[in-house]
Structure 1
């Protein structure tokens, strides 16, 4: 999907407008299975922040994004874990298809992205990490706030490939609710 979103409008990006954006929000990480054991790890609600640079044309947007996600571990096989966190640095290439409603000042969008995620789990005494492929899909709306400023409200599902920490394999994935600002340069 990303290839399609990026390749179709590629001819129009010669006259595209650059932009920068920042966003943040609530990260609701799915419970993780460990080596096939469902719900081995349960997470607290967390947060995420993203920064991106991109190009916008009449057909859509393409961007490079760096993100940071952090969630506390609530339980590990039912045992409370107050001092353990999972953090993920993501490096994504995203494509957006904007449905610009110029007269209303809003632009609903759908997006998809691919990249890499550097996921780690850390406690007071240990830390393990793994770098894996990641993808994300989402939808939302951009609301024009000023001549060069848009407020973005959206949802994304973020999914790294399974990670290996200390010899065990864990599934990761999160539902993210985001609010952000996009500034056209």
Structure 2
């Protein structure tokens, strides 16, 4: 486990590298097209599922790819624009039922696939290898839900508006290759899914909404041309 002394030592090493080799970062600050790949952990919060249960999600995974453009450095830093595509999957945690199906609990999984247009501000005016950044994104998510309970089930997919806020650091290995580490808060409009009591055919099936938001911790690699 990384204790306080180790963490301070790691920061000191990163700061030393940042000061010792400022020329290494100049290629990135000139601007240009970049591509990247990223993976990480999704930690979604508990959401109200159709008014019948508060259903959480276990920690899941996220895989993504990016293509973007970094504008040339200004005295205040760099701006970037980026197109991101991703896929994530999480198992449902046991729900806390209430209401019409108060004796029920839900199991299953949630899968999402989406695209975001992100805008970033890089604090590259600090110089060196370590570059903090902040960003925000807008896009859409296609959410696929399979929630099974003894009294009722929810299933189907829906595409909704989504957004995210991002903060992280980039470590520049050389003028082209970087590794990134960031945290993200994401939220979206409530997707709606088909629902029906277990073992009973209902035509047409009614629909119910699901609150879905949470956090991601992502690590990635980026190549700037």
TM bin, normalised by shorter chain, reads 0.7 to 0.9
Rg (Cα) greater in structure: 2
Q: Which residue of structure 1 aligns with residue 5 of structure 2?
A: none
C-alpha separation in 1, matches of 2:175 and 2:128: 14
Listed as ranges, the matches of 1:5-154 within 5 Å are 16-36=31-51, 40-57=54-71, 58=73, 59-77=78-96, 79=105, 81=107, 84-101=108-125, 103-122=127-146, 127-154=155-182
CA offset at residue 146 of structure 1?
Answer: 2.1
CA separation of 1:126 and 1:164: change in aligned 2, threshold 3 A: closer
Alignment coverage as a number of residue pairs: 168
Bigger proportion of residues as strand: 1
| Structure 1: gaps spanning 5 or more residues | 1-14
Give the Cα separation in 1 of the matches to 2:54 and 2:96. 5
Structure 1: distance between partners of 2:210 and 2:33: 38
CA distance in 2, matches of 1:103, 1:93: 27
Q: Which residue of 1 aligns with 2:190?
A: 162
Q: What secondary structure, in the 3-state scheme, does the structure 2 residue paired with 1:75 have?
A: coil
Q: Given that residues 162 and 188 in structure 2 are in contact (C-alpha distance below 8 angstroms), is that contact kept between their aligned partners in structure 1? A: yes
Instruction: Using structure 1 for the length normalisation, give the TM-score.
Output: 0.84
For the 8 Å contact 2:154–2:193, the answer to whether it is kept is no
User: Given the two structures, how large is their TM-score scaled by the length of structure 2?
Assistant: 0.69
CA distance in 1, matches of 2:143, 2:112: 4
Question: Is 2:199 aligned against 1:171?
Answer: no
- RMSD between aligned alpha carbons? 2.0
Structure having the higher helix fraction is 2
Provide the C-alpha distance between the structure 2 equivalents of 1:141 and 1:45, rounded to a whole number of angstroms. Answer: 23
Where in structure 2 are there 5+ consecutive unaligned residues?
A: 1-29, 98-104, 195-206
Contact 2:106 2:147 in 1 (8 A): no
